[in-house]
Amino acid sequence: MENIEQIYLYGLIAGGVLTLVYILLSDMLDGLFEFIPDGWFNPTLILSFVTFLSAGGYLLETLTSINSIIILVSSALLSLLLVMLLNIFVLIPLSNAEESNAYTEDDLIGRAGQVIVSIPKDGFGEVILHDTGGAVSKTAKGFDEEEIPYGKDILVIDIKEGVAYVSVKEDDLLF
């Protein structure tokens, strides 16, 4: 009986240590497993399963007198359920949140912003564009080759080769 408890305890320790190592070195380790198609191998889920299985097995072995086979099967089923819940409610939303922070340059067209480095006539300056997800600064040029001073509110008209072509917002022109 004690032998099986030791196996569960060693599995729990190994799962915890490997999880810590994976957290610290995940970027490098992800590159090593790049040849495996997405969805086939997720170290986070595998390590979580081992940790949950070992913890459940160890607790049930030390606290109850249930048959070891029943403990192994029930711990495996509980671990599978917990890993599925972890994946559905934590890992998938986190991966979608990372992707939603990305933007294309076409997304910036029509966005309002402010000049943070004056745009000279026939030259380049810089603008900052605010959004609910944060702020983006872009190299900018006057749409009609006009000079736009620091602090003016602008509107992005077009983006070509990474440069935002901007125009002064009409509200600023009236005053």
Given a contact cutoff of 8 angstroms between Cβ atoms, the answer to whether 142 and 148 are in contact is yes
pLDDT on residue 39: 64
Tens of each residue's pLDDT in the chain, 175 residues:
579 999 999 999 999 899 889 888 887 777 776 676 666 678 888 999 999 999 999 999 999 999 999 999 999 999 999 999 999 998 888 777 655 556 777 778 888 899 999 999 889 999 999 877 678 889 999 988 889 999 999 999 999 888 999 999 876 554 4
CA atoms within 13 A on the CB side of 104: 2
Given a contact cutoff of 8 angstroms between Cβ atoms, the answer to whether 90 and 102 are in contact is no
Domain boundaries, the chain: 2-100, 105-169
pLDDT on residue 139: 92
Given a contact cutoff of 8 angstroms between Cβ atoms, the answer to whether 48 and 86 are in contact is yes
pLDDT on residue 175: 46
Residue 130 phi, psi dihedral angles, 5° rounding: -95, 145
pLDDT on residue 101: 55
Fold of 105-169: OB fold (Dihydrolipoamide Acetyltransferase, E2P) (2.40.50)
Q: What is the pTM of this model?
A: 0.57
pLDDT on residue 79: 96
Mean pLDDT over each residue of the chain, to the nearest integer: 86
Given a contact cutoff of 8 angstroms between Cβ atoms, the answer to whether 154 and 171 are in contact is no
